[in-house]
Structure 1
């Protein structure tokens, strides 16, 4: 087996067809292969590795250089995508080898976090990844939004094609990146695909010259469904402005489907709103996203509410070791554990997935133990809660 990094044009005949076989209808229509070349530009800055056997591509994996907010710090993040194996080469360890190499390289380049959508969550948990909340979908009729039509709101609503409004959209998502835990964005070379495809409408909510909410959407047909992507808003005023806009489609569409953040409660938006809210997870699809720490540097100087604990990370290629997590100054310091720390502070033994679960705020220390992601005594759990309180991340970028 030979592993190598692809040059850009090589993707057309190696990784793209393999990924298409894994994730699309198959066999491919001839027109689809022609689309590969148009898609090539949006992969320009990716790292793509392939494993080859006798000149045949046996497996492929790509890493997208992204950015993600971890508890207020915007950090370089490796988005793993396009993990695919030739049907005659599966279950022979090719993906494991490629994952190790691509994450080695991304970490060496300074990427401190990584995220992906798994084909099987338990497989990636062994690589230190932990599940994040899957975005939920709210489905309702525009008629039920009628009480909002005459609401007096402080906002202006701007309606345009995404190709025209892309700059406004990108600027708003960049602000969300700075302000929202878990939020991630694609690099510009990938993100502009949304502008170039121009297959969405954009609704922006503007207040005092500043964008305070936005959502992209399309309509599948007359009397069909208005299909909205992630509803991003700063506050209830902005959310209501978007819903008021949707209400004006009462004689055009039968239903509205919109993705909402984990903390949103659509059932409380309106009295008598008949709404279906779901977040379905299945194998092999749809899956919930997963993420992990690639470097303990990602935790340095995080504001914390105190806490001091000795953490031994086990079984991981990148984080293994004994470290003292000290938040007594109000900012987290992570240092190699010296002999003086032994027995002086509470101690926990964690897998990389267990530590990542705490860092991303998706599990309580007790849940980490129950899930088999570590051994967390009561005293250590108390300290870890002070260092890593629960906080719902919203990954946003759908790769």
Structure 2
């Protein structure tokens, strides 16, 4: 019988070999480095048959905010299995064991970045949010920053500046659901450091305080160089414009700028001709309810609504979620219990996950997700689970 357990130090090289083969089989694996910084960030697990490692994964114990409530949202990463152990149900067993561990920790949600959406969709995860990627010639910025001035100063930043950057990040993400609370180790060993090479990070200072930052790399393809902006943070619009001014200062070096943004970037309304900018809409990570009762009782509900709904939930992985649950909402608080009553809403766990985080309005979810509900129930669902500003931007 297989055994799910923490990965000991002596199996780290196996973890490295499995993940290298799973995610970059076309490349020669990097030499295993037991002192690499990424080992400091996660909690590694393996599914074992005796001493034989069948598959591995990594958990990040993220803290985030959901409808104003601080929660733990474990990030599942580095799920990998060698060819000789695939198609035997090992990964499914490890995913279930991971959910059990999350449940024991009291985490109502889990998130991951998929290698293929359909693979994790069948196990109950679904899209958390969308994101954008802008592409344009740097000359597009000329008119945008023409009148911004040259006050303040730009300064190269490193890991020792993490607190200053964190303050900007917290200002920018205030009001967003599921943005990760970045720890010092995350800043130092994930954000300021890269897997293959470290990014450049520059900040714009106003009155001696960092008010904006740009995390980027300069990429080259057959001699054409691209300013690849991975993250731009700013406490206000002035700081944002100065960060764009910094990017524009590379016009003699690069022929293209790419910039990761939210799904509805204000940048398009700043340029003279938006047709000179390409916006690629991309999917973000995936989210999953860990425990139906815990999730529905964790979040606050809009005041002034008193109702009850019976959910019939289909969960292909976690049997504790597979059944009917009655949610009673009074005075902004929800109470959830198992029931045998007739359902008002029938849905799978992936649809429930998108519903409770406010991924889309209910009127759209009933068209795109596995949800069946009569019109009165839809109205209650719409009132209880309005769309939210959800944006989990970190890769992991």
Superposed pair shares fold, TM > 0.5: yes
Maintained 8 Å contact 2:202/2:213: yes
Cα deviation 1:341-375 (Å, max 9, x = unaligned): x68xx921232212211122113324433345222
Partner of 1:258: 259
CA 1:25–1:85: 2 relative to 1, 3 Å: closer
Cα deviation 1:94-146 (Å, max 9, x = unaligned): 01100111121122123222100112323322332111234221011221211
Partner of 2:336: 335
Q: Give the structure-2-normalised TM-score.
A: 0.85
Maintained 8 Å contact 1:231/1:261: no
Deviation at 1:314, TM superposition (A): 1.8
Partner of 2:237: 236
- Runs of 4+ aligned residues of structure 1 deviating over 6 Å after TM superposition are none
SS at match of 1:266: helix
How far, CA to CA, are the matches of 1:199 and 1:28 in structure 2? 20
* Structure 1: gaps of 5 or more residues: 282-287
Deviation at 1:336, TM superposition (A): 2.1
1:181 paired to 2:187 = no
SS at match of 2:142: helix
How far, CA to CA, are the matches of 1:314 and 1:117 in structure 2? 24
Partner of 1:387: 384
1:277 paired to 2:279 = yes
Cα deviation 1:314-355 (Å, max 9, x = unaligned): 2332444412241x52x242332679xx68xx9212322122
Deviation at 1:74, TM superposition (A): 2.7
Cα deviation 1:61-114 (Å, max 9, x = unaligned): 221111222233231111000111111221111011001111211221232221
Partner of 2:269: 268
How far, CA to CA, are the matches of 2:8 and 2:301 in structure 1? 41
Task: Choose from 43, 48, 51 the match for 2:47.
Answer: 51
Alignment of 1:1-399 (within 5 A): 1-26=1-26, 28-29=28-29, 32-34=30-32, 36-39=33-36, 41-44=37-40, 46-53=42-49, 55-152=51-148, 156-176=152-172, 178-193=174-189, 194-195=191-192, 199-206=198-205, 211-220=210-219, 224-273=225-274, 274-280=276-282, 288-295=284-291, 296-299=293-296, 300-304=298-302, 306-307=304-305, 308-316=307-315, 317=318, 318-320=320-322, 321-326=324-329, 328-329=330-331, 331-336=332-337, 347-399=344-396
Maintained 8 Å contact 2:211/2:239: yes
How far, CA to CA, are the matches of 2:394 and 2:78 in structure 1? 15
CA 1:201–1:45: 2 relative to 1, 3 Å: closer
CA 1:104–1:230: 2 relative to 1, 3 Å: same
Maintained 8 Å contact 1:138/1:276: yes
* Structure 2: gaps of 5 or more residues: none
Deviation at 1:231, TM superposition (A): 2.5
The more displaced of 237-246 and 7-16 is 7-16
CA 1:48–1:164: 2 relative to 1, 3 Å: closer
CA 1:144–1:27: 2 relative to 1, 3 Å: closer
Deviation at 1:188, TM superposition (A): 3.8
The alignment of Structure 1 onto Structure 2 pairs a total of residues equal to 383
- CA RMSD of the aligned region, Å? 3.0
Q: Give the structure-1-normalised TM-score.
A: 0.84
SS at match of 1:14: helix
Deviation at 1:233, TM superposition (A): 3.3
How far, CA to CA, are the matches of 2:115 and 2:219 in structure 1? 28
How far, CA to CA, are the matches of 1:336 and 1:53 in structure 2? 37
